[in-house]
Structures are given as C-alpha cells and as structure tokens.
Structure 1
C-alpha cells in the first residue's frame, strides 16, 4: 500500500476520537513501521489508556501463574514424572503447519476429531492452566522462526505462551460466548507481539477476540465454513472464468483457510509485509480478509494457475505453494482487495449468505469504536473524507510529479532531435 501522509501523526496527537474516521482510512493504506503501528493500532481499535492498563495488569498476573505452572512442569519432568506436555489435546480445527487446509478437511470428515479421551488423559488435561495449553505450546514451539532467531526467539516464544494462555484464562470470567483456541491464532498473536510488544499486543489480541475473531474462536467451525463459501461467491462474480476453472477441478475453498485464519501471517515471509495486512484488516470490515483472499486468487489466475494440468491435488498444491514459488506483490494485492471491496461491498455480498450475517462478528459491525457511517461509505465518500490539508498535499505532490515527468519527456525529445 502507499505510505500514508505523515499527517496521520498530527491527527493522532490531536482529537483522535474526532479524527478517527480519517485515521482509520489512512491506516488502511499502510503505516510506516512498527513505531507508528504502536501508536495507531490502539486508536483504530478504540483502546483507551484505561483499557491498556487493565490488560497490562491482567497479563502480569496471569503470566506469573503460567510461569509457575511451567516451572513445576519442568521439575516434574526432571524427577521422571509423566510429561503432560505430550498429551494429545488438539483444538477444534486441526491442521499440519505445512498444509493447513488439507488437515482441516480431515476434521470435517471426522478424521482426527479428538472426542475419545481415556480417563487418565482427561484427568491430566484438567490440571492444565487452559483447555488447549498443550496445543498452544506445540504451536508456539514452531512459530516466529521466519522473523527472529536464537535467544530472542526463545524469549519471544515464552511471551507468546503467556499472551495466549492469559487470553483464555481471562475469557472464562468474561460475559459472552466461551472462547476456544484454534491453530493459526498463534500466527496472528505472533505479529502483534513482534510489532507492538507483549503488553500492547495482548490488549489488541483481547480486542480482536471479542470482535473480528470472535466467531473463529467459537465452539464450532460453522462460521469459518460459511466465510469460505462467501469467498467462492466473490470469486464467481468477480471472475467467472476463474470460478469455472476451480469448479472443473473440484477445488474447494478450504485452500484459503491459512489466509483467513491467520490473516495471511502464516504465508507472508517478512514481518513488515505481514503487518501491512494487519494495517488494512484492523481498520476495515471484518470480511476484508475474504476480499484479500479473492485478490490473491485473481492474481494467481494470471500467473500460471490456468496452466496447471491435473486434478484437485495438483491445483491445491500450486495454490498452497504459490507464495514460496513466486514473488508476490503483496502491496498490489491489498490495493486490489480494496477495489473489490468497493465494487462488491459486504452489504451486497452478504445477500448471497444470510446465515453469515447472523454471526456476532458481522452482526455487531460497526463495532462501538468504529465511526457509524464507515460500513456504508462509498469510494467517493472515502476520498472526500480526507482532510482538506491532506488533499492539498496530495494534489501538490501529484502536480510536482507531473511537471517532472513532462520536463523529462521534453528533454528526451530534444535529445532525439540532436
């Protein structure tokens, strides 16, 4: 995305509540580095100083309890006791880190669904600090290696355990539906941790768990499947040829599961690019990851997807490995996602799936901190919402660029004449 004007800082330092509409718009275009994200992300999510202080104390308290549990576990292993950390306690959505979507399909088919527990294992599980603690530990132990290494990686992984464990320990006493861990949540939490630090990252994660991610963290996978079905509908109306192709290969939308569950953080190889996805998602409609997924599918359609010959497995393999075999212009994909959003807005797209509109993630949007007219804003209104002094700066920059280009063309023409 294009870098937003530096004036976003002055807007944030001024009356942030009054300027929130402009701040969210500029954030969606991409921010300049982690320092700016630490200032802007809390604003676009409506987090107050009081919220941040409350969450900091909560994380400190729960982290101490989790640290004590982990130390006792270490002593137990040293003394030859049974390693509770090896218990098989998968979440509702189980997938292998190298092929997330295929294992998700196995869960839908009933394979690997962890309903049968013997009494001994169930008794051991009740001693864990949170229900899916072992799965969290397993996921964290293979996280963030693309971004950091060595001792920093060890320390950050411990902080990530504390963030996730504290989130679910605290949620037990909160009003509303019970939250459940899913594999892929640790990827989102990793980006928040590495970008904002553990305290602010934890506050943002708590906010997301009761808004953008709430139904993904529900007791069933229904919201996830409905959301992915909506992706296929978007592909169908945006590019009928692509939809016919995926239908002919019997490809199912679960191929996009790693993108939507992790907000692309599982697939994007560098931290800043991953954070840029978050710039857009945190300041947009909760269905924006679906538009980004469709944008990526459309990009693949013009970069080799139609040349794949074979069955479902071959097409799925091409898509799942695309980000590692191609240089993907993520900035362009996000721009195209916004264009898709403008052309096929959620209120129209959701007409094809009334059931999805009933989930809390969608039903409660715009969330209390979101400007009430943002959901219905048109592309022209969004451009008009840019403060006048920013418009002047953008127009001036465009004029300067145009003059420079014209001067260059005149110079080249004279050179040709010589």
Structure 2
C-alpha cells in the first residue's frame, strides 16, 4: 500500500487520454461536462471494481484479468466501459452532476456477456496503446483538454439529434463554475472516505 494517493492519481490521469483514443467525441463531452478529472472511476480502480459490483463471478473474472495483467489494466477496462456506453453518456446532460452520477454506477449495469466484450476490447486497446505510450497520449490530452476548456461550448456536441433524426431541444448546459466543482469533489471524497 502506498503512503499517498499520488500513484493512483497518476494512473487515473491516463483514463481520459485512453477514452480520447477510442472515442474522441465522448472524451470531449465528458471534459466539457466537468468529469474529465475522472473521480467517478476512483473506486473502480482502487478496488478493482468490487466496490460497485455485486456479482461475484464477474468480480472474480476481473480479478483474474488484473492479476495476470499490467497494473494499469483496470484503467484500460474503464476506458472501454465508457466507450461501450458512449451513446448513453452522450445522451446525458452535459453537466457534472448528471454525468458523474451516471458514470459512477455504470459498471453495475453490465451483464456477464458485455463484460467479456469489454475485456476483449480492453486487451485490444492495451495492445494498441501500450503503457509505454501513455505519457505521450497524456501530453496530447492535456493540450486537447486545455483547448476544450478555453473554447466555447459550441462544437459537434452542442446540438444532438434523437433516433428519429429530429432536433433534440436539449441544449448542452454551461459548465459549472470551478468553485462548485471543487465543492462537489470535496463532498464526494469526504463521503467516499467515511
């Protein structure tokens, strides 16, 4: 066990670059929605998903994968969980509270067959974006996220179309102020620690 959360924080910093590799639209949406700091995935990573899952066979399957894999494999799995559910993520309001709540409980909605598909995708992602390349991806993501933060919310995500290709009246809400985000994360971490 590490004396601080630094290594965990550093490991989690690779999640958004990996999501950006597999689905840049979803990564941009999440960044604009204020969940680009991936606190929603903290319990996934530090407990190998056992904190959010009740299905013992799935937990054991994930443990088998993580024991024989690189220590960052849970991050690759997290990226593929988000990617697999990207359409649902993009259908949520582009604001921190909605996205954080949805993403936090996302693993609980996955059935056994879908888990196997996500695991296959995570292994493929690992093979194509080995941990040796993550520093470069992280650097690129920092540039992209800075651009997203400094640009107006008018982008491909501003107007969404529903399944019938009719204009969806939902307008992407403006980003929460930084102060409200800090307060939200502080409360989330306080509740999570207790």
TM normalised by structure 2 equals 0.65
Deviation at residue 326 of structure 1 after TM alignment: 5.5
CA distance in structure 1 between the partners assigned to 2:89 and 2:21 by the alignment: 18
CA deviations 1:337-394 (Å, max 9, x no partner) are 101001111111234569xxxxxxxxxxxxxxxxxxxxxxxxxxxxxxxxxxxxxxxx
CA distance in structure 1 between the partners assigned to 2:58 and 2:106 by the alignment: 16
Deviation at residue 240 of structure 1 after TM alignment: 1.0
Deviation at residue 320 of structure 1 after TM alignment: 1.4
What is the count of residue pairs matched by the alignment? 137
Q: Of 242, 261, 264, which aligns to 2:46? A: 261
Residue in structure 2 matched with residue 296 of structure 1 by the alignment: 81
CA distance in structure 1 between the partners assigned to 2:127 and 2:30 by the alignment: 24
Residue in structure 2 matched with residue 250 of structure 1 by the alignment: 34
Q: Describe the shift of the 1:324–1:277 C-alpha distance in structure 2 as closer, same or farther (beyond 3 A).
A: closer
Residue in structure 2 matched with residue 313 of structure 1 by the alignment: 97
Specify the SS of the correspondent of 1:286. coil
**1 or 2 for the larger relative contact order (CA 8 Å, sep ≥6)?**
2
Deviation at residue 293 of structure 1 after TM alignment: 0.7
Structure 2 unpaired stretches of 5+: 140-194
Q: Does 1:236 align with 2:20?
A: yes
Q: Describe the shift of the 1:310–1:242 C-alpha distance in structure 2 as closer, same or farther (beyond 3 A).
A: closer
Q: Does 1:342 align with 2:127?
A: yes
CA distance in structure 1 between the partners assigned to 2:33 and 2:52 by the alignment: 23
Q: Does 1:322 align with 2:91?
A: no
Specify the SS of the correspondent of 1:250. coil
Give the alignment of 1:7-46 within 5 angstroms.
Answer: none
Structure 1 unpaired stretches of 5+: 1-216, 355-418
Q: Which of these two proteins has the greater Rg computed from alpha carbons?
A: 1
Residue in structure 2 matched with residue 285 of structure 1 by the alignment: 70
> 2:45·2:74 contact (CA, 8 Å) conserved in 1?
yes
CA distance in structure 1 between the partners assigned to 2:110 and 2:4 by the alignment: 34
